[in-house]
Amino acid sequence: NFMLTQPHSVSESPGKTVTISCTRSSGSIASNYVQWYQQRPGSSPTTVIYEDNQRPSGVPDRFSGSIDSSSNSASLTISGLKTEDEADYYCQSYDSSNQVFGGGTKLTVL
Amino acid sequence: QVQLVQSGSELKKPGASVKVSCKASGYTFTSYAMNWVRQAPGQGLEWMGWINTNTGNPTYAQGFTGRFVFSLDTSVSTAYLQISSLKAEDTAVYYCADGTTWGQGTLVTVSS
């Protein structure tokens, strides 16, 4: 099985841009889609990015996803940060037999 | 709109069983596989496995074999997670999720 490694926490000021990374331990990041989920305190997760870079309807275009084969990682970028973006963010991907979540990144907007 | 609505919180004693339901609406139930995800208190998300909503065939992740059973009732667009021989360490919020939609979660507390 592979692992997805995320930074434990990141912080940034309102209005700024933040990028959260997600590095795959084995196998190509490009081989299987990456999803990103937002989980606010006390709430269930919601999907903010699916299939590497697609936004579900209702997710603002301040959220974008990308993959970088050279670093075997995926990234979630949030621009124009708002205090409501403060949450835990999880990446997720899969291989032929398993789905894997990253450990989660706590985003603080202050 | 697409929605997954889960059953309410459960308080169970060790050794008991619990069955969590997840009712889908707003789409054709058999269009997407149903995943189950566990979140222990203060911890991250852990994939438990999935069930093929067309065939009913379940796939369990490592660590979720034996006491965990996924099932369906397609007539009411509902997926189920049953956990038997409950242990204190099963205390967690359990989520169902299809492609992009998540249920609201079901808290299962195991305590004597």
pLDDT in tens, A76-93: 999 999 999 999 999 999
Q: Is A98–B50 a contact, with Cβ atoms under 8 angstroms apart?
A: no
| Residue type at B19 in one-letter notation | K
**CA proximity to A46, closest of B60, B105, B81, B24:** B105
Contacts of A97 in chain B (CB under 8 A): 59
Nearest CA in chain B to A37: B100
Banded pLDDT at B48 (limits 50, 70, 90) = very high
Residues 6+ apart with CB under 8 A from B108: B9, B10, B12, B18, B20, B83, B86, B90, B91, B92, B93, B94
pLDDT in tens, B61-112: 999 999 999 999 999 999 999 999 999 999 999 999 997 999 999 999 999 9
What are the residues facing B69 on neighbouring strands? B82
- How confident is the model at residue A97, as a pLDDT? 85
